Amino acid sequence: MRTDDLTNEVLADLRQPRPYPAVTLVLPTHRTKPDSLQDPVRLRNLIADAGRRLDDDPQVTSQVRAEIVRQLEAAEKEIDLVYALDALVLFAAQGEHQFWHLPRRVDAERIVVDHTFLTRNLVAAKAQNRPYWVLTFAEDLARLWSGSGEQLTEERRYGFPVENATVESERERASRTGDFTSGYRDEAALQHLRDVDASLSRALQDAPRPLLLAGLQHGLTALADVGTHAARSALATVPKGGLANVRASAVREAVASARAELLRARGDEALGRLGDAIGRKEFVVGIDEAWRAAREGRLALLVVEEPYRQKVRIDGDHLAPAADDAVSDSTGEVHDDIVDETVEAALGTEAEVVFVPDGALAEHGRIAGVVRYTWAG
């Protein structure tokens, strides 16, 4: 499955505890040859490593181990790596398995054995799939595209597509000659601008989303200066012509860098909200505070560095870093990734979760949150 199928209900189900062990495999994959040729072998080796890890786990009986391996191998047969994206996440527990192709890179292969599946990669991919609009504008045709992650679908509401039937106009002549100094003075061209602006304004009012604009710069500038000035709300512009009559794949490629800016802007917005909360003293920093606040349902926003993970031993309400080979014993229960559990707990109370680049929270223990309320005293 792909992130388009990743609903809040699906995530909630994946976060439910399973009978131990619930196994998660994370594998970086490749979209094109020759790198993609290594993916089937690496997947097979990762499954074998997971089997060996279960062999060494004293909590896993031979019967349960055989069942988990059977689920992993069944998933391997179902996975068609011809359709691989940037990462593969495979889940297996007793009586179930599923896998997800993600359009988001992961730093390394991982095997996680716990009572729950590792969902952080799916959460990050879902955050990356935040809906957005793309407007491709030209003098004769404007089209609106509904975006989610890498998927683009042409929107045929709000009056789109907006066509300008006038073939000969001052702007078209200027396009041929390269003289754009005269501006949009032709009435047909001006009316086309007003029609596009009105349709874009309706779309943004009905479904507010980040907006990306693509078209020749002089046209985008003129569009921003008419009517409701809806185009001025664009997060980014792509000064590129020739996109009016192309397929979705060409539009997606043209706006790739602008979409990356959209993701950066969301991270910057989250960091700004965190900074404001710190000023109001309505925040938590570090894994201990964030973990407790998430369990108590106090988080409104959780901000996490993308690669951050932490294995810990829990003794009561105290977290202590644990070695990679640590196992649960009389000194406390070992949790493979307390960061992912914190993310899951935050999502379970409808907190917003935003992943930011490595180092963005270096002064705050790599994880921090905005709280809904603080304890008195």
Plot region of 31 (φ>0 → left; ψ -120 to 50 → alpha; else → beta): alpha
Q: Say if residues 254 and 150 touch (Cβ distance below 8 Å).
A: no
Q: What six digits make up the tokens of 337?
A: 């990734």
* Tens digits of residue pLDDT in 26-55: 999 999 999 999 999 999 999 999 999 999
**Given this model, what pLDDT does residue 295 score?**
92
Query: By three-state DSSP, how is residue 280 classified?
Result: helix
368 vs 137: CA distance, rounded Å:
41
Pairing of strands 211-215, 131-137: parallel
What does pLDDT average to over the chain? 89
Express as a percent the part of the chain with pLDDT over 90. 67
DSSP-H helix ranges across the chain: 8-14, 39-55, 62-78, 120-128, 170-177, 187-206, 217-224, 248-254, 256-280, 286-295, 338-348
Q: What six digits make up the tokens of 69?
A: 């391996």
Q: Which residue has the tokens 């000969």?
A: 168
DSSP of 39-73, one letter per residue? HHHHHHHHHHHHHHHHHT-TTS-HHHHHHHHHHHH
78 vs 86: CA distance, rounded Å:
18
**Given this model, what pLDDT does residue 348 score?**
82
* Tens digits of residue pLDDT in 319-361: 888 887 787 777 778 887 899 889 888 988 889 999 999 999 9
Q: What six digits make up the tokens of 154?
A: 């042409």
367 vs 365: CA distance, rounded Å:
6
Q: What six digits make up the tokens of 72?
A: 């992993």
pLDDT band at 198 (very low <50, low <70, confident <90, very high): very high
* Tens digits of residue pLDDT in 175-189: 556 555 445 667 888
Nearest-10 crossing angle of helices 338-348, 286-295: 30
Region 273-285 average pLDDT: 96
Q: What six digits make up the tokens of 80?
A: 């068609």
